[in-house]
């Protein structure tokens, strides 16, 4: 196997392990799982992979800058989903509507940033 294939496989395995670990922890300790899930582990991994693959500091800085601004609209998911679930909605419609709300929030943020001249 080429080095590129090994790197790709490692990315997939590390990502899968994180997701499985968070869901397993959540079964026993939701707060601990929430802390682990809220850590910017995905972003850190993306920075590391991008560094290894490109060594381009400007790309990493641009990615970090974009993530900073787009974390804000992503919070819509975490506000809408529990509101709907606690209001008696079932899981799938709640998740779908929360995802739609998040897409709308992203579109709004991108529009605002564009008007302010902040590049993503």
Of 11-15, 67-71, 111-115, least confident by mean pLDDT is: 11-15
Domain count, the chain: 1
Q: Is the pLDDT of residue 91 over 80?
A: yes
17 inside domain = no
117 inside domain = yes
85 inside domain = yes
What is residue 7's predicted lDDT score, i.e. its pLDDT? 83
pTM of the predicted model over 0.85: no
106 inside domain = yes
Q: Which residues of 57-90 are buried (b: 16+ CB within 10 A; e: fewer)?
A: eeebeeeeeebeeeeebeebbeebbeebeeeebe
Q: Can you give the residue range of the structural domain that contains 99?
A: 64-120
33 inside domain = no
pLDDT in tens, 19-49: 999 999 999 999 999 988 888 988 998 899 8
88 inside domain = yes
Alpha helical stretches, state H, the chain: 3-28, 30-38, 41-54, 57-86, 91-116
């Amino acid at each position: 196997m080429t080095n590129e294939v090994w790197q790709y496989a490692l990315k997939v395995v590390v990502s899968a392990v994180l997701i499985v670990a968070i869901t397993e922890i959540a079964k026993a300790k939701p707060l601990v799982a929430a802390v682990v899930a809220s850590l910017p582990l995905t972003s850190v991994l993306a920075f590391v992979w991008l560094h290894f693959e490109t060594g381009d500091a400007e790309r990493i800085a641009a990615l970090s800058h974009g993530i900073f601004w787009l974390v804000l609209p992503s919070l819509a998911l975490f506000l809408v989903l529990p509101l709907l679930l606690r209001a008696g909605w079932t899981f799938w419609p709640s998740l779908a509507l929360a995802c739609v709300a998040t897409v709308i929030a992203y579109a709004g943020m991108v529009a605002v940033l564009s008007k302010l001249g902040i590049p993503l």
